Amino acid sequence: MVTADGERNVDLLVRDGKVAEVRAGIAGDGDVVDATGLLVLPGVVDPHTHLLLDTGTARTADDFESGSLSAAAGGVTTFLDFAPQQPDQRFAQALQSRLDLIEGRSHIDYAIHLNIAHLPTGWERDLAGLVDAGVTSAKIYTTYRGTIFYADDWTWYRLMTQARDAGFLVQVHAENDAIVEGMSQQLVDQGKTSLKYHAVARPGVAEAEAVGRGLLFSRATGSPVYFVHLSTPLAVDLIGEARRGGVQAIAETCPHYLVLDDSRYAQPDAARYVMTPPLRDRESQAQLWDRLSRGAIQSIGSDHCGFSLSQRAGIDDFREISPGIPGVETSLLLMHSFGVVPQRITRSDLVRLPWFACSAPIPRRSSDCGRKRATCSRVPTPTSSSSTHGQNGFCLPRTCTAARGFRPTKG
């Protein structure tokens, strides 16, 4: 058994769906699964998935049944998905719309983050209602202006003025929209619209700038902030500096930024690798591993957003493709193969990451995490499959980020 403390040869007793005992020599007349020669790990909590995402211009290839099955096959026992807020929706309506799609269909545990794009009159009260309903996090998008996902700085900042007292965590898809738009237009003007230019159109400085803005908002409001799917060491370093100064910020990266690099965009099968932010160069990849191994990245999310290749067939224009790649089934395997096997991190490091049990330093209003029983069950050992509580007693409201997988449309 692999735990945060090391690896041991032990027996594990599960009673009523929960880990009841862990020690050598457990005997009894229950069903026995012989795991001799295998590794037993806690279930993965994937804090960032987009199953069944319909962007208006494209729909992911999976749904909550098939997506949760593939998650289970990859060792994931809990996923956190996003409820997009439509232009006319209050928070509770956005949540209910998403729950209507999930309830009764998932094969594993789940919880919801909202995607907040606007703040209707009376939203402060609605925020408290969300927390009471067990939703303690929401993502805002700093880019994709002109779509339902985009939130401007005033929306983002106002949300953060209330978040701390509400016990709410704001998550951020951090990309400076003007830089992305400007760079994209410059490429278009030069006739450079093929997928080869996908990463050029969304430079790392755009991410780092938006992260800097979020850190400032966090410092000014006292609210914690969680940056999803970080692709650049510069952004991670800004967060590290802010954390050392007392800012409650969390850095998430995704396996694809750790195992793939931007040379993929020059290949004929570039369409396989289109996500935002894009893949970066090999040096950035090595630096992300370095920061992960030093604890400077606190969270791993798959940012699963599974479009099929057939949906991208014949598209060789970075403006025309709905970004997003699958990952919920492969995250743990990739982190093991590319992290543990080459000894960049240990298996216990892997288990210590909050995707096994939340452990980010987010002080809550009370000792309880605010999630309802259905989405959060406090359990006594780190081997539990659905814990969202960390060993340090704090709870991380897991919220994803990017509403990937939609094609930004203008006008």
Residues in contact with Zn ion by CB under 5 A are 303, 400-402, 404
CB nearer to Zn ion: pick between 4 and 258: 258
Least separation in angstroms between residue 192's CB and Zn ion is 27
Least separation in angstroms between residue 94's CB and Zn ion is 16
Least separation in angstroms between residue 74's CB and Zn ion is 17
Q: Helix count (H) and strand count (E) of the chain?
A: 12, 12
CB nearer to Zn ion: pick between 3 and 401: 401
CB nearer to Zn ion: pick between 113 and 347: 113
Please tell me the distance from the alpha carbon of residue 65 to that of residue 165, in angstroms, as a whole number: 36
**40: nearest Cα among 76, 15, 7, 69:** 7
Please tell me the distance from the alpha carbon of residue 42 to that of residue 384, in angstroms, as a whole number: 6
Least separation in angstroms between residue 22's CB and Zn ion is 34
CB nearer to Zn ion: pick between 82 and 197: 82
CB nearer to Zn ion: pick between 22 and 297: 297
For 95-153, the DSSP string reads HHHHHHHHTTT-SSEEEEEEE-----TTHHHHHHHHHHTT--EEEEESS-TTSTTB--H
Taking CA atoms, 119 is separated from 52, 58, 166, in Å, by 25, 26, 15
Residue nearest to Zn ion (CB): 402
Least separation in angstroms between residue 244's CB and Zn ion is 27
Pairing of strands 299-300, 2-3: unpaired
User: Cβ distance 341 to 1 under 8 Å?
Assistant: no
CB nearer to Zn ion: pick between 109 and 252: 252
Taking CA atoms, 315 is separated from 54, 191, 310, 320, 369, in Å, by 19, 15, 10, 7, 45
Least separation in angstroms between residue 49's CB and Zn ion is 8
Residue the block writes with tokens 């202006």:
145
